[in-house]
Amino acid sequence: MFTSPNYNVAISGTSTSSFSYAKIYTKVKIMRAGTQVGSALGRLVGELEKTVKPMETIRLPSSATSKRTIRVNIHRNQAGIESYKAGKPTAVHFNWHGSGWVLRGLGQEAAFIRQTLTNPLLADYPLTLLDCDYAKSPEWPCPADTEDARDVYDWVLRNPNLFDSERITLGGFSAGATIALGLSVVLGEEARRQEIPIDEKGAQRSFVHPIKGVYAIYPVATWQGSRSQVTVPASAKNKPGFLLPLWFSKIIATAHLFSPEVPSSRTPAEERARKEELIARPLVSPSNTKDVRDFSPLVVLITAEYDHLTRDTEALRERLAREGPQGGVHVFGTSVKGVGHGWDEVAKKGQVGYQERTDMYDLGAKMIARVGGRELNMDA
């Protein structure tokens, strides 16, 4: 039996020196090299899914800086291809990959992309799936990732000939799931605050959330507080997925929350205060959203039994189940037993987690189809 340590990693480092940046940058570069080699070998020997070739890859400009662009892989299901050829807009689903905010991983959710594009539930539903990259830390620390996500969203709105803005859903895995949740609550708050009188009596129009559903697999619900302790029994030693090691969590937090100015003139106390303010934002810690209506009408939360992120995400699920219905928000999903973080990318046929992966990906398709008007039981 193994019990992971409890540690508050989010605000542990307060140095903004060039030396501190060089240290974390070097660690991240080593991690990137290792994961890229491992992923390539994994696909070569069939341990990982082969990537899905997109119909098109585009690069969008960042609104924050001219020094980076945003890569987006465009996929369409068969109905979406036919609509595109006919010049008709389609529904759109955004996907942001897992990365710990530091690793390169665009296209790694191949199994999800493939299953969604071929799902019978969506056979007659024209869909464009945008698999989106985003800024990585420490070169571009938080909130650069969500700036990029917002830029892609705004690009979609500027192209009504391609995309139906009334049928937008967001989703992602791990860091990408956090981006999806964070962007959705920010957009929800913006729309809610723009409610305006529509007649002389001051009646207000109904609040309409611009995002119709969010599909989040093992997200970071909050950066605040200590990392939860997770006990893995000996019988689960060979489980699919992994338990995030403490050293990995420290690297992620240090890189992602590093000062955007290097070196900075802030004192350690001022840098700590900056980090505390940053991680308190709902954009970064979606659980901090005060008004439950800021969440999209459909929220799917999927967690793993052996994952440090599960405690906080399950607390968010309980809150949405309790408070959400009055605000028009409904939460679905489950905690998958016997697996760790990222289990769905490595589970093999016949292994625990394999059928669960199919079921959970189907739940994403159900959410998308339900936004399109189909009456589907998402509890099944």
Provide the domain limits for residue 109: 2-193+207-371
Query: In a 3-state reduction of DSSP, which class is residue 337?
Result: strand
pTM: 0.94
Mean pLDDT of 368-379: 92
Beta strands in the chain (DSSP E): 2-3, 56-61, 69-76, 90-96, 127-132, 163-173, 213-217, 231-232, 298-306, 330-332, 335-340
For the chain, give percent helix, strand, coil, nearest 5: 40, 20, 40
Q: Give 116-139 pLDDT, tens digit per residue.
A: 999 999 999 999 999 999 999 999
The percent of residues in the chain predicted with pLDDT above 90, rounded, is 78
Number of domains in the chain: 1
Q: What is the pLDDT of residue 232?
A: 87
Q: How far apart are CA 66 and CA 44, in angstroms?
A: 36
Q: What is the pLDDT of residue 136?
A: 98
Cβ count near 290 (within 10 Å): 9
Q: Give 56-112 pLDDT, tens digit per residue.
A: 999 999 999 999 999 999 999 999 999 999 999 999 999 999 999 999 999 999 999
Residue 201 lies in a domain: no
Residue 324 lies in a domain: yes
| Distance spanning both ends of the chain, measured CA to CA | 33
Residue 376 lies in a domain: no
Residue 39 lies in a domain: yes
Q: How far apart are CA 139 and CA 368, in angstroms?
A: 34
Give the residue from 361, 245, 356 showing the smallest Cα distance to 306.
245
Whose tokens are 């892609």? That residue is 152
Residue 137 lies in a domain: yes
Q: What is the pLDDT of residue 9?
A: 60
Q: What is the pLDDT of residue 209?
A: 96
Q: What separation in angstroms does the CA of 160 have from each of 41, 90, 97, 124?
A: 41, 9, 25, 20
* pLDDT band of 43, cuts 50, 70, 90: confident
Answer yes or no: is pLDDT of 375 > 60. Answer: yes
Let me know: does 72 contact 133? Beta carbons within 8 Å: yes
Whose tokens are 């992923």? That residue is 39
Average pLDDT, whole number, for the chain?
92
Let me know: does 177 contact 221? Beta carbons within 8 Å: no
Answer yes or no: is pLDDT of 32 > 90. Answer: yes
Q: Give 159-217 pLDDT, tens digit per residue.
A: 999 999 999 999 999 999 999 999 999 999 999 988 755 545 555 556 799 999 999 99
Q: What is the pLDDT of residue 284?
A: 98
Q: What is the pLDDT of residue 262?
A: 95
**Lowest mean pLDDT segment, chosen from 112-121, 201-210, 215-224, 350-359:** 201-210
Residue 200 lies in a domain: no
Q: Which residues contact 173 (CB under 8 A, 6 or more apart)?
A: 95, 96, 97, 98, 109, 112, 217, 218, 342, 344
Residue 359 lies in a domain: yes
Q: Which CATH number fits the domain that encloses residue 147?
A: 3.40.50.1820
Q: How far apart are CA 231 and CA 3, in angstroms?
A: 4
Residue 379 lies in a domain: no
